[in-house]
Amino acid sequence: MKATIDFDEGLYRRLKVEAARRGRTVRDLVAEGVRHVLGIPEAPAAAVKEEAWFGVLGGYGRQQGRHDLKAIRESVAKGRTRKKSR
């Protein structure tokens, strides 16, 4: 069944980052949270091996302590090399 949920923008961004960090989807994390609140154990078939679909990105996400926009920009900037203009 589908449902529409309105999230605060900041909360949704954090949820997306956490889902990526775990190699999961936002849908998976929301369902996991609902099961937790209701006291229903997670079904074995729903468990996703960490990094299953994010590969290296999942490992990279775990290395980062902060997940705010400034931290993401700083992290991206670290990996860039400036090209000399001609």
Per DSSP, the residues of the chain read --------HHHHHHHHHHHHHHT--HHHHHHHHHHHHHTPPPPGGG---TTTTTTHHHHHHHH-S--SHHHHHHHHHHH--PPPP-
Q: Does a structural domain hold residue 2?
A: no
Q: Does a structural domain hold residue 64?
A: yes
Q: Does a structural domain hold residue 84?
A: no
CA–CA separation, 18 and 27 (whole Å): 12
Q: Report the pLDDT value the prediction gives residue 51, as an integer from 0 to 100.
A: 46
Q: Does a structural domain hold residue 43?
A: yes
Which of 23, 30, 28 minimizes the C-alpha distance to 53? 23
Number of structural domains found in the chain = 1
Could you read off the pLDDT of 12-56 as tens digits, one per residue? 999 999 999 888 899 999 999 999 999 988 765 545 554 454 555
* Mean per-residue pLDDT over the chain, rounded: 76
Which structural domain range is residue 38 located in? 9-79
Q: Does a structural domain hold residue 1?
A: no
Q: Report the pLDDT value the prediction gives residue 86, as an integer from 0 to 100.
A: 57
Prediction pTM value: 0.49
Burial class for 24, CB neighbours closer than 10 Å (0-12, 13-18, 19+): buried
Q: What band does 77 get if pLDDT is binned at 50, 70 and 90?
A: confident
